[in-house]
Amino acid sequence: MIKLSKFEMIEGQPNETQIEEWVQTYFFNLMNILNGFFAHVDIQEAYTRFKSVPFEQLVRDELEDEQEQIINLAVTKIIELYEAEVSFMESYLEI
């Protein structure tokens, strides 16, 4: 069976821009879903629940048929987005 990648290769290297765009879209789609739930709890509870979401594993599962290099790039980017969101929530909570 032929496995088709979601991402282009440029001179044998994954297209990082395309991976970053995919991760941003994936993250913000998840955030839209989560915000629907978080709207019903206070910010401290939302923060606690958000911190328990396994973003890294979700990306790994979503990209399980991709090359390890692509998965690692996507995981690095999702962690950056996650940490930025946590930092924003912490500043709001004054933690």
Which tens digit of pLDDT belongs to each residue from 69-86?
999 999 999 999 999 999
User: Around Cβ 78, how many Cβ atoms within 10 Å?
Assistant: 21
Name the nearest CA neighbour of 17 among 70, 83, 85, 80. 70
pTM: 0.88
Q: Mean per-residue pLDDT for 43-64?
A: 96
Residue 28 clears pLDDT 90, i.e. is over it = yes
pLDDT at position 1 is 58
Residue 56 and residue 75 in contact, taking contact as beta carbons nearer than 8 Å = yes
The proportion of the chain whose per-residue pLDDT surpasses 70, expressed as a percent, equals 97
